[in-house]
Every structure is written in structure tokens, then in C-alpha cells.
Amino acid sequence: MPRSAQSTSQQNTPTGVLLSVATIMGQRERDLLAQTLVSTLTELIHINRITMYRILPSDQGEEAILVAETCNHPDDALTHSRVNITISSRADFNLVFTSRDEHVQKLDKKTFLSVYPIVGKRGVVGLLEIISDAHSDIDRRLILAFLKVYSNYLTILDESETDTLTGLLNRRTFDNNIEKIVAEHSPSDDAKVGPCTQHPLRRKDAPELPHWLAIIDIDHFKRINDKFGHLYGDEVLLLLSRNMQRIFRQHDKLFRFGGEEFVVVLDRTSRANAKTVLDRFRTAIEKYPFPQVDKVTVSIGFVRLDKADVPSAIIGRADQALYYAKHNGRNQVCFYNDLVTEGKIAGEHYSEDMQLF
């Protein structure tokens, strides 16, 4: 028996399936969770390629963003999937997204393309695309069962890690992961898992570029609550968070820090591009027609992440830049190092014993 077939037969037993489920549920980082699922299904069923997409809002409508992919044969990489696809531009994706049912179509005499929905609390949150010779009904039921386990686990993660109102990661998740976020400066976080695995929107020279942390604060938010009521205040928070999901990249980490304050950890990029992205978000909020409230602006302070610094120092510097922005005109983006260099604020020194959280 060929090694691959033997491996599959060993995996596709009750014990093997349970071990695979345990492996999936041992992951808490979402991209690794997605990659673990596609790798597991590759081992359990005979496929040519399996690809998972996450669905996010964009200016063109809902978009499918590639998050994980695995091939059984190197030749399959020649037909490598696109990193992002507008749902409305692909009939099969649009059909699955709207119907919440899987769709199968024949590509040639022996090859089929199957698309399965990944359904979460807020509807279809992802798509699983499989290219294979026709798989059996048992394979189909196995795929559906694993997707159910995966979506249920995502719901558990969402309930514990995300803010109820906005759907962004919550303060508790930030506090529990800030040290890991800072440590992700190392080149090792770009390690690949499989022959077709890729990290979308990540540059080849990404390990040489830093991460950036920005604190975003809604200007005069108390006035909004006092004038229009907390219901409209909550709507501002919700719509602002949706704009964050639309404008920032998939690998940028978005948090609701508390009240009207948000934190963004920008994935590896240059300082100039970090400033450009943050300014683009600030401008988008300024121009966005918030119902009843109409105009809303934000102030932003940001800093470069340096793993030589303790998290309290990083947050403190970003907060200093934000404080300067809010007390010197608001509706602007300020970079901590520029403010220090220009003598507008004094540089702060933090001890490693200082605890901010």
C-alpha cells in the first residue's frame, strides 16, 4: 500500500478522527486553526487541493480572503488560488454565501470542485473550496462534520475573545496576548506549514519590517452620548468597528480597548505605510455619514513595536501620542517618535517592573 494511502486509512478510523478533532481544538490562534483543519481533511480524504477563505467586508462588497491551503501534489500549486476574491464576482461563491448550502461542479471528466459554507453566529463567515476526484458520501459527511466542529469552536472563541457589541477582539484578549504580539517580531512567524500554505497580503521581505501599535479614540464621544443617547452612541461604535474591518488588512489585529477607545496592531509594514493606512482610516471616519450623529472624527497615536520593550512601555508611548493628538486639534494621527524628535513631548522611561494591566 502506498504511504499516503496507508496514512489516510490510519487516520480515517474512529480513533484517528477523534485525535484529529483534538488537534483542531488544541489551537486558539485562528490562522493556525484554519491551517490545522485543512491539513487534517487532506489526511482524511483523497483530494487534490483544499483551500479555506475567510469572508470580510470590503468596498466592493463581501470578499473571500485566503487564510489556509494544502495540496496533495506539487503540480496542483500551478493552479494556485487567488488571495482575495469578491464574492459577487464568482457565481459558485455567491451561491454558497447566499444559500448556506454546499455547491459541486464538474471541472473535467474526473475532477470536481466543491464549495462548502462555514457558518458562524453572524452568518457565513468563511468558505471551504475542495478540488478532487468525486469524493464519496462518507467523505462529504466527514467534511460537514468537521466544519460543524470548526464553526462551533469558532463560536466559543468569539464568545470568549471578542467584544459583544462590535465583534472586535476584546480587552481581555489584548491583555492575555500583548506579550505574544510584541514577540511576533521574529522571522519565525513566517514559517510555512505545507506545500501550498501562504500568508496573504504579506510581503516577501516582511520579516525585515516592524509591527505598529495604534490607539484610536473617538473625539467628543461623551457629547454624542449626551446629545443623541447611548443607543446612537452604540451605533457609532458598531459602524466605526465595521469600517476598521473594511479598511485594515486581514492580518492586522483589531481590538476594542474599552469605551470609545480601540487598538490596532498593524502587521509588518514601513512607517510611511503605517501612517498612510491610519490616515486613510481617520479620513474615512471623518467622511462617513453616521446616522443622526452625522460627523464623527477620531484621534490616533501610534508607536513602533519593539520586542526589547515591555508592553506597558509600548502602550504608554502610544497613549502619549494619542494624548497629544487630542489636546492639539484632534482628528489627526501622531507618531510618538516624531513628537519626541520635534520636542513636542518628552520621552518617557519605563522600568521592566512597571505593570500597566
CA–CA dist 198, 191 (Å, integer): 9
| Per-residue model confidence as pLDDT tens digits over 116-154 | 999 987 789 999 999 998 778 888 998 999 899 888 888
Q: Catalytic: 29?
A: no
Classify residue 353: in a domain, yes or no.
no
The pLDDT assigned to 184 comes to 66
Q: Name, of 9-23, 66-80, 155-169, 282-296, the range with top average pLDDT.
A: 282-296
The pLDDT assigned to 319 comes to 96
Classify residue 354: in a domain, yes or no.
no
User: 80 and 196 share a domain?
Assistant: no
277 or 346: which leads in pLDDT: 277
User: 230 and 85 share a domain?
Assistant: no
User: 227 and 245 share a domain?
Assistant: yes
CA–CA dist 36, 39 (Å, integer): 5
The pLDDT assigned to 202 comes to 41
Classify residue 311: in a domain, yes or no.
yes
The pLDDT assigned to 351 comes to 45
Taking the C-alpha atoms of 152, 155, 156 and 161 in order, what is their torsion angle to the nearest 10 degrees?
160
- The yes-or-no verdict on residue 256 having pLDDT over 80 is yes
> For position 118, which CATH number holds?
3.30.450.40
The pLDDT assigned to 286 comes to 97
The pLDDT assigned to 294 comes to 85
Res. 1 pLDDT band, cuts 50 70 90: very low
User: 213 and 304 share a domain?
Assistant: yes
Say which of 260, 261, 342, 352 is annotated catalytic: 260
Res. 6 pLDDT band, cuts 50 70 90: very low
Which three three-digit cell numbers place residue 288? Answer: 462617513
User: 100 and 52 share a domain?
Assistant: yes
The pLDDT assigned to 78 comes to 41
Q: How many domains does one find in the chain?
A: 2
Q: Which domain holds residue 217?
A: 171-341
Least confident of 99-108, 243-252, 268-277: 243-252
Classify residue 346: in a domain, yes or no.
no
The pLDDT assigned to 5 comes to 45
24 or 33: which leads in pLDDT: 33
Classify residue 348: in a domain, yes or no.
no
257 or 9: which leads in pLDDT: 257
User: 74 and 92 share a domain?
Assistant: yes
Torsion sign over Cα 290, 293, 295, 296: negative
> For position 245, which CATH number holds?
3.30.70.270
The pLDDT assigned to 117 comes to 96
- The yes-or-no verdict on residue 80 having pLDDT over 70 is no
Domain boundary among the residues 140, 161, 182 is at 161
Percent of the chain at pLDDT > 70 equals 80
- Over residues 85-109, the mean pLDDT reads 93
Which three three-digit cell numbers place residue 333? Answer: 494621527
User: 152 and 222 share a domain?
Assistant: no
| Per-residue model confidence as pLDDT tens digits over 164-222 | 899 899 999 998 888 877 876 544 444 343 446 444 444 444 457 889 999 999 999 99
For 235, half-sphere exposure in the C-beta direction (CA atoms, 13 angstrom radius) is 15
Percent of the chain at pLDDT > 90 equals 49
User: 186 and 82 share a domain?
Assistant: no
Domain boundary among the residues 132, 161, 190 is at 161
User: 92 and 193 share a domain?
Assistant: no
The pLDDT assigned to 102 comes to 94
The pLDDT assigned to 18 comes to 64
The pLDDT assigned to 271 comes to 95
- Over residues 238-264, the mean pLDDT reads 93
Res. 73 pLDDT band, cuts 50 70 90: low
Please give the span between the terminal C-alpha atoms of the chain, in angstroms, as a whole number.
Answer: 57
User: 103 and 51 share a domain?
Assistant: yes
**Whose CA is closest to 125, among 146, 154, 104?**
154
Classify residue 277: in a domain, yes or no.
yes
- The yes-or-no verdict on residue 13 having pLDDT over 80 is no
Classify residue 71: in a domain, yes or no.
yes
With H, G, I as helix, E, B as strand and everything else as coil, classify residue 161.
helix
Looking only at the bridges linking them, the beta strands covering 61-71 and 49-58 are antiparallel
| Per-residue model confidence as pLDDT tens digits over 16-25 | 666 666 666 6
Res. 81 pLDDT band, cuts 50 70 90: low
347 or 265: which leads in pLDDT: 265
Domain boundary among the residues 112, 139, 161 is at 161
* Helix/strand/coil percent split, the chain, to 5: 45, 25, 30
User: 149 and 268 share a domain?
Assistant: no
User: 180 and 240 share a domain?
Assistant: yes
